[in-house]
Amino acid sequence: MISRSVRGKVRGAPREANLKFAQSVWRPALAGFSIIVLFLAIAVWGQAPAANPPQDPLMTLLLSQPKIEIGSAVTAIAWFDPPVVRPGQLSFYRVTFNALEESIEWPKEIAAAPKLELRPGARGQFFQPTGSGTEPRTTFSYRAKTFEPGETTIPAFTVQVYGKRISVPAARLQVDANVAQAPAQQLILDITNTNLFVGQPVSVRVLLPSAAPGLLQVFTQMQLVGQGFIMDQGAAHQKMESMMRDGSNITVFIHDTMLIPVVAGKVNVFAQAFTVGQRIPHPTLTNNPATLTPTMPQFVLIESESTELSVKPLPRDGELPGFTGAIGTFSIDQPKLATNSMRVGDPVKLSVTVHATGFSRLVPPPAPKSADWQVLAATPQGEPAQMLQTRGVATFDYTLIPMSEGTHATPLIPFCCFEPSRAAYTDLTIPSLPITVLPGRAPVDMAAMLQSETNSNEIEEELTLSGLANIPGRRAATLVPIQGQAWFPAMQIAPIAIFLGLLGWERRRRYLETHPQILVRRRARRALRRERRTLRRAAQGGNVSVFAASAVRALRIGSAPHFPAEPGALVAGDILQLFRVADDDSRQPDGTLAVVRRFFAITDASRFSLASANPAELLILQPEIERVLAQLEARL
Amino acid sequence: MSGCEWRLFSRGTLAVLLALKLGMQKGFISWLSLLLVSFYPFFASEARGASHETLFRDGANAYRAADYETAAKILRESVLRYPASGTYQNLGLTEWQRSQPGPAVLAWEQSLWLDPFNQSARNNLRFARKAAQLDAPDLSWDEVISTWLPVNWWGWIVCLSLWLAFGAISIPIFLRRPKASWHQSIAAFGLMLFLLGLPAQFGVHKRERIGFVMEKGTALRLTPTLEAQTTSQLFPGEPVRCMRSRGEFLLVRSNRSTGWVQRKQLGFLATQPTGNPIVN
């Protein structure tokens, strides 16, 4: 007998087993969960001190800049500098806004008095310090000149700024031959050479002589203004020099830079910059006088005279292979090879040193294509162009891989430059160097593999502008397509008319085939007229036999279609019968039958009778026979 | 007018007068007079061609001397008198040197319009579009077909093939010739050319509506008024497709957006430099 406790144990055994199983699952799970939570907590705790991310340096730089005030009311100041000039003396008309340049919709033309010559000049933007921040100042400058004494005014006008209409006040220019006022301060633009080739660099000096001895005046934001050139900012540097001017030793601020024309033709260039104004514009007209702050230095936009450059394109004649835009004076040293003995497939470095002066860019010549060599393009050593210009030396490193054992020299690398002083190209081809190539360890099909790789990496076809066309080529009277021109649709009438004509001709032909007598009568009429003409000519010439024969033939021809019969088969009786039939309705004149009989009788007699007939008497019957023939023709 | 032109003109005019005189003497227009009269346009066109050749040479010389302003003026005059593919090619080069990409692209497109086989003009267009980052016109399939041959060839092909097919069918009937297989072959060939040429003709018609932006900063406006809001700016040389016109404004669709543009700011393929675009 099983006791209760034992029964209980027996009944409770599966429950304990379940519990143990549950514990064996949950315990490791809870332990793992706890470990993960612990690690996460440690990780979060460990990262807690780095909660503040570092600020973006660009944002820091932006925030450190002084605030630009663009919220204040926009005002415009307009003035002439100098305000009083002698006739023909240059004065600058300037309009300055306290607004960003991009926000101003400046008119293309300004209404001015006809006697005032006004040419557009510099325009620029400067951020004027205002104590707590900066305020944009945009200036538009014009060159004004007039020869007529008196006062000239540019009237007030409006300009859209930030989408609002802002009034530009009027400005007055006084022209007086007796007043000698100092001219407006200008920059001096000194360009060493004004006859250039495209891509040829030229040194540019922009000078600002101080307004007075002992005074140092500098400028900033210098720009060369014009189209068709680029200014090499990297080559720019400033300096100060002393020079004698009007008997005084004054300080000159000089900005040296380099200009490179990029298009051929006439290129106009002038310099502009901001400098602290030495002369307060007076009289100054403004639409808000309170904005003038005489205590603060006023930056004025000044400019130089315009200089015209004559830029020629590089000549196509004489251009040598390997021209990569190198313009200047160049020379190359003997190339250096890392080793002169190698195995097939081993790379070797070829270094070429180029010496250059007066250049703006130096691009290594492209790697040549050779069956015996794989040449990897030269890698410049990474110096900036300005450093190259300063040093005047550059080194190109080519990597050469021999592809066969039969190679005894490195490939020629075509290279050339254009020398503006000679206006000619100079050959700088990198020469070949002797080399020994030993059998390689690489598989024999390496050449093919490298070759295919070279093809796949082939340089994309370089697009260039073509030369001039030598002949005008295919022409047209107009660019409008022919279907758009009036004559072309009209011309289609011609084939339509031809086809309609053919259609009509065919229908007429079918009609005539069913009514052949029309053709017979038409032919008879034509032949009758012909005979009548012959008859008349014979009568005029007195040829009696021809006259009689023509008359008889005409009578036969005119009568034949009525039978129908061949004209030659008809005799006088047939023709007389025709007239008698016709006489049924209208009575024939008595002479008609007699005339017909008579003509036939005499002609038959002259043909068949032995007795001679006298046809001469027939001539007097010409009116009668004409009348008879007219009757016959009318019946056809 | 040069001496050569005068000589040719005077020669042609003299021939016509002589022919008329002969005709009057004989009482009828003789075959000779008809022949001479029919050759008069040839004389006149020869004179015009001579003038065109002179201008072409002068323009090329001015270009070589880097006097691009003069070259552009001369070449524009030349294409106004007698449009020619090579002249347009040189005009495009001149405008490109003058930093006028819009007129340059238009000139090269017009060069290809007259002669699609001009590879130089095609390369120049590719170069200009790559340099100025411009898109080529987005052409439909019928427009692409129409670029395969000179623009006037399609008109002639369609016209001649139609009449050839019609003639091959009808003329033997009129002439009461028995039907032959070669008649049917010619008719089928003509009909095939006609059907092939029709889409190209339609493509030519549609390409006439492709314009190119001529000026820098051309505004694409929301409405056809000068005071309208500017939705975007078009680049010089950018192609647009004209949809309709209203006054001096054209509704155009560029690759980016649609809007109104002033008519004078666009150049069209079928318009000579100072002409007006063809817009219905």
Q: Distance, in angstroms, between A558 CA and closest chain B CA?
A: 32
Does residue A207 share a domain with residue A166? no
Beta bridge partners of A253: A208, A240
Q: Quick one: average pLDDT of B238-265?
A: 92
Does residue B180 share a domain with residue B151? yes
A423 Cβ under 8 Å from any chain B Cβ: no
Does residue A306 share a domain with residue A368? no
Query: Residue A295: inside a domain, yes or no?
Result: no
Does residue A209 share a domain with residue A168? no
Is a pLDDT exceeding 70 seen at residue B148? yes
Beta bridge partners of A126: A137
Query: Residue B18: inside a domain, yes or no?
Result: yes
Does residue B86 share a domain with residue B71? yes
Task: Give the count of beta carbons closer than 10 Å to the beta carbon of residue B279.
Answer: 17
Q: Quick one: average pLDDT of A53-64?
A: 74
- Domain boundary residue, one of B207, B223, B251: B207
Query: Residue B183: inside a domain, yes or no?
Result: yes
Query: Residue B62: inside a domain, yes or no?
Result: yes
Going A510 to A516 to A517 to A522, the CA torsion angle's sign is positive
Query: Residue B126: inside a domain, yes or no?
Result: yes
| A575 token code pair | 């023709």
3-state secondary structure of A481: coil
3-state secondary structure of A312: strand
3-state secondary structure of A518: helix
Q: Among A464, A473, A482, whose Cβ lies nearest the Cβ of B85?
A: A473
pLDDT digits (tens, 9 = 90+) for A463-502: 788 889 999 999 888 899 998 899 998 999 999 999 999 9
Does residue B215 share a domain with residue B202? no
Q: What are phi and psi of B64, to 5 degrees?
A: -65, -30
Q: Is A162 within 8 Å of A99 (Cβ atoms)?
A: yes
Q: Among B114, B127, B270, whose Cβ lies nearest the Cβ of A463?
A: B127
Q: Quick one: average pLDDT of B61-65?
A: 91
Task: Indicate the average pLDDT of chain B.
Answer: 83
Q: Distance, in angstroms, between A322 CA and closest chain B CA?
A: 20
Does residue A220 share a domain with residue A155? no
Domain that holds residue A231: 188-277+300-311
Query: Residue B139: inside a domain, yes or no?
Result: no
- Domain boundary residue, one of B160, B192, B207: B207
CA dihedral A211, A214, A220, A222 (to 10 degrees): 60
Does residue A528 share a domain with residue A443? no
Does residue B180 share a domain with residue B224? no
Query: Residue A56: inside a domain, yes or no?
Result: no
Distance CA A553, CA A556 (A): 5
Please report, rounded to a whole number, the percentage of residues in chain B having pLDDT higher than 90: 60
| A166 token code pair | 């802002």
Does residue A372 share a domain with residue A430? yes
**Higher pLDDT pick, A79 / B162:** B162
Interchain pair A506, B174: CB under 8 A: yes
CATH number assigned to the domain comprising residue B33? 1.25.40.10
**Higher pLDDT pick, A191 / A318:** A191
Nearest to B136 by CA among B63, B226, B195, B207: B207
- Which of the 8 DSSP states describes residue A22? H
3-state secondary structure A519-586: HHHHHHHHHHHHHHHHHHHHHHHCCHHHHHHHHHHHHHHHHHHHCCCCHHHCCHHHHHHHHHHHCCCC
Does residue B215 share a domain with residue B180? no
Interchain pair A469, B114: CB under 8 A: no
CATH number assigned to the domain comprising residue B243? 2.30.30.40
| B200 token code pair | 């190209």
Least confident of A67-81, A126-140, A145-159, A586-600: A586-600
Nearest to B198 by CA among B149, B146, B138, B152: B146
Is a pLDDT exceeding 70 seen at residue A2? no
Domain that holds residue B227: 210-268
pLDDT digits (tens, 9 = 90+) for A516-556: 889 999 999 999 999 999 999 999 988 888 898 899 999 99
Cα-trace Rg, chain B: 24
Is a pLDDT exceeding 60 seen at residue A44? no
Between positions 220 and 239 of B, the ones with CB within 8 A of A are none
CA dihedral A92, A95, A99, A101 (to 10 degrees): -50
Q: Quick one: average pLDDT of A391-412?
A: 84
Q: Distance, in angstroms, between B130 CA and closest chain A CA?
A: 9
Between positions 453 and 472 of A, the ones with CB within 8 A of B are 463-472
Q: Quick one: average pLDDT of A385-398?
A: 78
Amino acid, res. A331: S
A141 exposed, middle or buried (CB, 10 Å; 0-12, 13-18, 19+)?
A: buried
Between positions 201 and 240 of A, the ones with CB within 8 A of B are 227-228
Does residue B184 share a domain with residue B239? no
Query: Residue A165: inside a domain, yes or no?
Result: yes
Is a pLDDT exceeding 50 seen at residue A9? no
Interchain pair B93, A492: CB under 8 A: no
Least confident of A15-24, A168-177, B248-257: A15-24
Does residue A192 share a domain with residue A305? yes
Interchain pair A310, B66: CB under 8 A: yes
B97 Cβ under 8 Å from any chain A Cβ: yes
Q: Quick one: average pLDDT of B60-83?
A: 91
Is a pLDDT exceeding 60 seen at residue A604? yes
- Domain boundary residue, one of B73, B101, B132: B132
Query: pLDDT at position A577, please?
Result: 84
Q: Quick one: average pLDDT of A77-97?
A: 88
A476 Cβ under 8 Å from any chain B Cβ: yes
pLDDT band at B119 (very low <50, low <70, confident <90, very high): very high
B151 Cβ under 8 Å from any chain A Cβ: yes
pLDDT band at A381 (very low <50, low <70, confident <90, very high): low
Distance CA A388, CA A382 (A): 10
Interface A-B: count of C-beta contacts within 8 A: 137
Q: Quick one: average pLDDT of A240-268?
A: 85
Query: Residue B247: inside a domain, yes or no?
Result: yes
| A106 token code pair | 């400046």
B214 Cβ under 8 Å from any chain A Cβ: no
Query: pLDDT at position B141, please?
Result: 93
Does residue A429 share a domain with residue A379? yes
Query: Residue B55: inside a domain, yes or no?
Result: yes
Query: pLDDT at position B120, please?
Result: 94
Task: Give the count of beta carbons closer than 10 Å to the beta carbon of residue A126.
Answer: 19
Does residue A118 share a domain with residue A192? no
Please state the domain count of chain A: 4
B110 Cβ under 8 Å from any chain A Cβ: yes
Q: Angle, nearest 10°, between helix axes A590-608 and A544-559?
A: 120
Interchain pair A478, B272: CB under 8 A: yes
Query: Residue A225: inside a domain, yes or no?
Result: yes
Interchain pair A472, B130: CB under 8 A: no
Task: Indicate the average pLDDT of chain A.
Answer: 80
Q: Is A411 within 8 Å of A337 (Cβ atoms)?
A: no
Is a pLDDT exceeding 80 seen at residue B64? yes
Please state the domain count of chain B: 3
Query: pLDDT at position A448, please?
Result: 58
Does residue A196 share a domain with residue A154? no
Q: Is A597 within 8 Å of A625 (Cβ atoms)?
A: no
Query: pLDDT at position A10, please?
Result: 43
Nearest to A411 by CA among A501, A333, A521, A335: A335
User: Predicted ipTM?
Assistant: 0.80
Least confident of A173-182, B140-149, B206-215: A173-182
A265 Cβ under 8 Å from any chain B Cβ: yes
Does residue B101 share a domain with residue B215? no
Beta bridge partners of A141: A94
